[in-house]
């Protein structure tokens, strides 16, 4: 058993070295031909590597690159390690060393672990039939047993154990995930199923593929070999519109069309055998990155040219809200790392039809790599001299689409004589040459992310945003949309020169300032966030998602101009489908963030406007008998003459910053306009039951932050704006918190009763 393990280990090591050479050649070819090879051919470069790892035998060739390396130039010498069987009086068969047979090594050489004859190819013992006479009959077994545990044998056992661990972990992760997904339901929406079936026909996928809605992952993915399933996260239905889902379906079905999942499984098995080789791990990671790009290219062939930009925006939308790509051997997801996503976007913007030159170049590179690496060195022969290989004819330089000189561009927006026009660039259709013209007096062209969207044209305004006494030009351009989500870029220009002023990036600033953590325990996920002394705590009753380590901000940013000041709204993401908080950032005159306010993440952007509050209250109140008003920073509802006589004379207030409705007299919180999952306390008239529900609503703060109540009745009063006071303890320190029961927003304050 030990001998067989060692022999297998030696063979795997030999294959690993040869595969490493091939991997380096492929990486070099990718670099040299990165602008000439089409994505499909770049991906096909990796197929020889898989073949090299999977097939231990290769034909001999004078053109093999391994003639230049000290690998397999002589017959195999795997019998140089002594057997663990008794060696006294036994003939040593040396058929693998160039001789016919020979004596077993004596005690002196056996103790060294190597036979001189076995390590010298082509030598035949002088007396091949003479048995070895050992003076101590029992010594052979002891020495042989010691030889079985030589460092080389131990190295083979370590390799075998490592392979078993890597393979076992991969199989367990795959089985666990498959078992969880097996219980998930199929998508039942007729519109989505019709779109999915249309994509199946477009790609001519004849295998049955199930469309599953799941909360187990946060990014669309394909799972399974025999019965593939397209896993569609529930959040994707809210984040992506129909066009985005169309892009996702085309990409994932491209994996089915190209049989990527079986290849990924085979690659994972081979990696388990070569777990000790970091170069192969890196190579396989690059292969899977090329796999994603190749699927993008196949999907783009089924889209019109004008839809390519929309496809790229779909990828960006998934990237900005995703902590990371899926890591399963039997799965393939649409997302990837940010670095690889940049490469994919560039490919998409430059995508063109495959030409005969592209095909010939790809075929030549693949055949050259296969010919010199999938063959072995000629045995017992000198290295073949290097032969000059005709250089592959260089591919024609990539054409650049340059707009005709007479094209002025598409009018995006116009206001007060200020016009904004755009035309795509030749190299990157995501970026446009945007020309701003101010009343025919001054004009300047910029390279911006822009596109024509008649439903959401650019907002053009003039305001003194930096306090220099001159009204700057404020331009807001919509760069992406989702269901109820809009992403913007803003540009602030000096009116005289149209020089663009630097506006602080709110994403980078808030990712620095927000302190947060995401932890998991007892099948729950706990999110804690703090911004400038204001806190928010939230508990989710599941852990199966692509959670990040902390709350982060990405592409979901919108801007507005309010009272001459720039205001940014940002959504904080804990995972792709969970946005526990939102931040409103107000810019100062130096165009950096002046003030920030954290709010509960909701379906409606905070703080709530008068119209929003009135509209939501109208749905919950009788048609008549009440009036709506404003008292300072709070909104009020007065029951003057209710139809049924109830609530007569009662007054309720609404806090626009938390969305909490509370009793104007007692301050008791009653219901939330922003947290639809929170219990409605409005109808609870029993005081003890009401108090019990209050404590239950505040429990997430205690669980997330590790607080302990100082007493059984730790709620000490109400503040008059929907908040309440609570006395808590942490690490031996007692203090008072001011908290909103429905949104778990809180802050530490001085004791109000002292």
Closest of 689, 674, 684, 688 to residue 722, by C-alpha: 674
On whether the CB atoms of residues 306 and 44 are closer than 8 A, the answer is no
Sign, CA dihedral 367-372-373-374, equals positive
Residue 267 burial (10 A CB sphere; 0-12, 13-18, 19+): buried
Asked if the structure places residue 563 within a domain, the reply is: yes
On whether the CB atoms of residues 323 and 547 are closer than 8 A, the answer is yes
pTM above 0.85, yes or no: no
Asked if the structure places residue 728 within a domain, the reply is: yes
Asked if the structure places residue 381 within a domain, the reply is: no
At residue 306 the predicted structure's pLDDT band, cuts being 50, 70 and 90, is confident
Q: Are residues 470 and 557 located together in one domain of the fold?
A: no
Q: Are residues 214 and 267 located together in one domain of the fold?
A: yes
Q: Are residues 419 and 547 located together in one domain of the fold?
A: no
- Is residue 13 over pLDDT 80? yes
Summarize pLDDT for 203-257 with one digit per residue, the tens: 999 889 999 888 877 778 888 888 899 988 877 777 778 888 898 899 889 999 8
Helix (H) or strand (E) holding 354: none
3-state secondary structure at position 630: strand
Helix (H) or strand (E) holding 708: strand 708-709
Strands 724-730 and 581-587: unpaired
At residue 518 the predicted structure's pLDDT band, cuts being 50, 70 and 90, is very high
Of 600, 625, 645, which closes a domain?
600
Asked if the structure places residue 629 within a domain, the reply is: yes
The CATH number of whichever domain residue 248 belongs to comes to 3.30.2010.10
Q: Are residues 88 and 142 located together in one domain of the fold?
A: yes
Who wins on pLDDT, 123 or 360?
A: 360
Sign, CA dihedral 236-241-242-243, equals negative
Who wins on pLDDT, 691 or 556?
A: 691
Q: Are residues 444 and 532 located together in one domain of the fold?
A: no
- Is residue 77 over pLDDT 50? no
Number of compact structural domains in the chain: 5
Q: Are residues 424 and 560 located together in one domain of the fold?
A: no
Q: Are residues 305 and 449 located together in one domain of the fold?
A: no
Summarize pLDDT for 263-302 with one digit per residue, the tens: 989 999 999 999 999 999 999 988 988 888 888 888 888 8
Summarize pLDDT for 705-752 with one digit per residue, the tens: 999 999 999 998 888 889 999 999 999 999 999 999 999 999 999 877
Summarize pLDDT for 162-216 with one digit per residue, the tens: 989 999 988 888 888 888 888 888 888 888 889 999 999 999 998 899 998 888 7
Summarize pLDDT for 584-641 with one digit per residue, the tens: 999 999 999 999 999 999 878 778 999 999 888 888 787 788 889 998 889 999 887 6
Summarize pLDDT for 14-69 with one digit per residue, the tens: 888 888 888 899 998 888 887 778 888 888 888 988 988 888 777 777 767 777 76
Q: Are residues 587 and 641 located together in one domain of the fold?
A: no
Asked if the structure places residue 158 within a domain, the reply is: no
- Is residue 325 over pLDDT 50? yes
Q: Are residues 278 and 205 located together in one domain of the fold?
A: yes
Of 493, 521, 544, which closes a domain?
493
At residue 694 the predicted structure's pLDDT band, cuts being 50, 70 and 90, is very high
Residue 215 CB coordination number (10 Å) = 14
DSSP string, 422-440: EEE-SS-TTEEEEEEEETT
Mean pLDDT of all residues in 425-440: 78
Q: Are residues 195 and 242 located together in one domain of the fold?
A: yes
Domain that includes residue 72, residue range: 2-152
Of 470, 493, 516, which closes a domain?
493
Q: What is the pLDDT of residue 335?
A: 61
3-state secondary structure at position 372: helix
On whether the CB atoms of residues 278 and 342 are closer than 8 A, the answer is no
Compute CA distances 103 → 126, 128, 141, 152, 708, whole Å.
10, 6, 16, 23, 80
Asked if the structure places residue 311 within a domain, the reply is: yes
Asked if the structure places residue 93 within a domain, the reply is: yes
Q: Are residues 326 and 415 located together in one domain of the fold?
A: no
Say what percent of the chain tops pLDDT 90: 30
Asked if the structure places residue 357 within a domain, the reply is: no
Q: Are residues 245 and 271 located together in one domain of the fold?
A: yes
Residues with Cβ < 8 Å from 376, sequence gap 6 or more? 58, 59, 60, 61, 64, 66, 72
Residues with Cβ < 8 Å from 285, sequence gap 6 or more? none
Whole-angstrom distance, CA of residue 194 vs CA of residue 190: 6
Q: What is the pLDDT of residue 94?
A: 39
- Is residue 118 over pLDDT 50? no
Who wins on pLDDT, 137 or 539?
A: 539
Whole-angstrom distance, CA of residue 717 vs CA of residue 753: 10
- Mean pLDDT for the chain overall: 78
DSSP 104: P
Q: Which of 14-28, 92-106, 465-479, 612-626 is predicted least confidently?
A: 92-106
3-state secondary structure at position 652: strand
State the helix-helix crossing angle for 2-32 and 47-54, rounded to 10 degrees: 170
């Amino acid at each position: 058993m030990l001998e067989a393990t060692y022999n297998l280990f030696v063979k795997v090591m030999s294959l690993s070295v040869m595969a490493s050479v091939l991997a380096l050649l492929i990486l070099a070819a990718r670099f040299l031909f990165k602008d000439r090879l089409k994505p499909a051919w770049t991906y096909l470069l990796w197929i020889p590597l898989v073949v090299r790892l999977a097939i231990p035998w290769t034909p001999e060739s004078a053109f093999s690159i391994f003639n230049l390396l000290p690998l397999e130039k002589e017959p195999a010498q795997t019998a140089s390690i002594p057997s663990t069987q008794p060696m006294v009086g036994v003939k040593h068969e040396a058929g693998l060393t160039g001789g016919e047979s020979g004596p077993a090594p004596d005690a002196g050489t056996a103790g060294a672990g190597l036979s001189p004859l076995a390590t010298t190819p082509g030598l035949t013992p002088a007396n091949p039939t003479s048995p070895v006479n050992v003076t101590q009959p029992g010594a052979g077994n002891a020495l042989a047993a010691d030889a079985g545990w030589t460092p080389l044998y131990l190295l083979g056992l370590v390799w075998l154990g490592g392979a078993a661990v890597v393979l076992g972990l991969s199989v367990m992760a795959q089985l666990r995930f498959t078992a969880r997904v097996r219980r998930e339901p199929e998508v039942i929406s007729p519109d989505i199923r019709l779109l999915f079936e249309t994509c199946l026909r477009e790609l001519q996928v004849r295998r049955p593929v199930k469309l599953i809605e799941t909360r187990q992952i946060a990014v669309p993915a394909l799972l399974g070999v025999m019965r593939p399933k397209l896993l569609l996260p529930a959040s994707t239905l809210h984040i992506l519109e129909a066009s985005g889902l169309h892009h996702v379906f085309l990409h994932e079905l491209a994996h089915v069309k190209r049989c990527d999942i079986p290849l990924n499984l085979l690659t994972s098995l081979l990696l388990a055998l070569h777990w000790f080789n970091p170069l192969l791990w890196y190579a396989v990671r690059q292969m899977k990155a090329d796999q994603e790009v190749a699927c993008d290219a196949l999907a783009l062939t089924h889209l019109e040219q004008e839809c390519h930009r929309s496809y790229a925006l779909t990828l960006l939308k998934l990237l900005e809200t995703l902590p990371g790509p899926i890591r399963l051997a039997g799965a393939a997801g649409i997302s990837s790392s940010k670095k690889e996503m940049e490469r994919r976007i560039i490919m998409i913007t430059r995508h063109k039809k495959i030409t005969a030159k592209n095909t010939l170049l790809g075929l030549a590179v693949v055949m050259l790599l296969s010919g010199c690496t999938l063959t072995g060195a000629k045995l017992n022969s000198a290295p073949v001299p290097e032969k000059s290989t005709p250089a592959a004819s260089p591919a024609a330089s990539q054409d650049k689409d340059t707009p005709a000189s007479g094209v002025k561009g598409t009018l995006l927006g116009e206001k007060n004589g200020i016009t904004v026009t755009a035309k795509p660039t030749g190299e990157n259709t995501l970026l446009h040459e945007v020309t701003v013209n101010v009343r025919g007096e001054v004009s300047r062209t910029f390279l911006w992310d822009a596109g024509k969207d008649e439903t959401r044209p650019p907002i053009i305004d003039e305001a003194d945003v930096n306090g220099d006494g001159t009204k700057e030009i404020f331009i807001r351009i919509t760069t992406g949309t989702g269901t109820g989500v809009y992403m913007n870029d803003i540009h602030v220009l000096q009116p005289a020169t149209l020089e663009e002023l630097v506006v602080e990036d709110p994403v980078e600033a808030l990712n620095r300032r927000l302190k947060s953590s995401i932890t998991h325990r007892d099948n729950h996920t706990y999110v804690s966030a703090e911004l400038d002394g204001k806190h928010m705590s939230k508990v989710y009753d599941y852990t199966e998602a692509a959670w990040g380590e902390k709350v982060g901000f990405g592409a979901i940013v919108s801007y507005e101009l309010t009272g001459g000041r720039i205001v940014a709204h940002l959504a904080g993401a804990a995972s792709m489908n969970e946005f526990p908080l939102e931040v409103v950032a107000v810019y100062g005159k130096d165009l950096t963030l002046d003030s920030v306010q954290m709010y509960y993440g909701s379906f409606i952007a905070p703080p709530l406007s008068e119209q929003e509050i009135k509209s939501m209250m109208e749905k919950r109140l009788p048609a008549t008998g009440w009036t709506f008003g404003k008292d300072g920073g709070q909104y009020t509802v007065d029951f003057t003459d209710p139809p049924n006589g109830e609530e007569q004379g009662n007054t309720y207030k609404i806090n626009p910053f938390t969305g909490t409705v509370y009793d104007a007299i007692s301050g008791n919180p009653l219901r939330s306009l922003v947290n639809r999952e929170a219990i409605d306390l409005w109808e609870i008239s029993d005081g003890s039951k009401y108090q019990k529900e209050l404590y239950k609503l505040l429990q997430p703060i205690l669980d997330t932050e590790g607080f302990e109540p100082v007493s059984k009745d730790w709620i000490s009063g109400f503040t008059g704006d929907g908040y309440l006071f609570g006395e808590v303890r942490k690490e031996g320190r007692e203090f008072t918190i001011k908290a909103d029961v429905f949104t778990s927003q809180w802050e530490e304050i001085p004791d109000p009763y002292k």
